[in-house]
């Protein structure tokens, strides 16, 4: 079983819709969760991080964390074609020092 799992996609949504990206993780003791966006040919850039159960909002982005169910999600409201990218979920496992474990990424396509 992979430590961090994501649906590879592609997830296709129309412009203006809500895109929902999901991620599950295996280490129940994980404390920190991150969402990165990676455009083709570019390095990942941090969008959001979340530590506590519940929702965390930043502009059009909302991260949701449910530690009991071991999943974290990212909602993108009013999706734009510029949001088309691969979204990587990353987890800092409990006993992993400070390095991150990444999921395989979900490719999002926002169609005009």
* Cα angle 8, 13, 17; round to 5: 130
**Residue 18 contacts another protein per CB under 8 A:** no
**Residue 105 contacts another protein per CB under 8 A:** yes
Residue 6 and residue 21 in contact, taking contact as beta carbons nearer than 8 Å: yes
Burial of 9 (0-12, 13-18, 19+ CB in 10 A): middle
- As measured in angstroms, the least distance from the Cβ of 77 to another protein is 23
**Residue 26 contacts another protein per CB under 8 A:** no
Give how many residues touch another protein by CB under 8 A: 23
Binding site for another protein (CB under 8 A): 31-32, 34, 41-46, 49, 51, 88, 90, 92, 97-105
């Amino acid at each position: 079983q992979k430590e961090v799992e994501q649906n590879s996609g592609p997830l296709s949504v129309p412009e203006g819709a809500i895109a929902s990206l999901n991620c599950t993780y295996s280490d129940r003791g994980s404390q920190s969760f991150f969402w990165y966006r990676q455009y083709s040919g570019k390095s990942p850039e941090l969008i959001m991080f979340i530590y506590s159960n519940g929702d965390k909002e930043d502009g059009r982005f909302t991260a949701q964390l449910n530690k009991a169910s071991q999943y974290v999600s990212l909602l993108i409201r009013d999706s734009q074609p510029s949001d088309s990218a691969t979204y990587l979920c990353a987890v800092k496992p409990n006993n992993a020092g400070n390095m991150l474990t990444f999921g395989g990424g979900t490719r999002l396509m926002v169609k005009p």
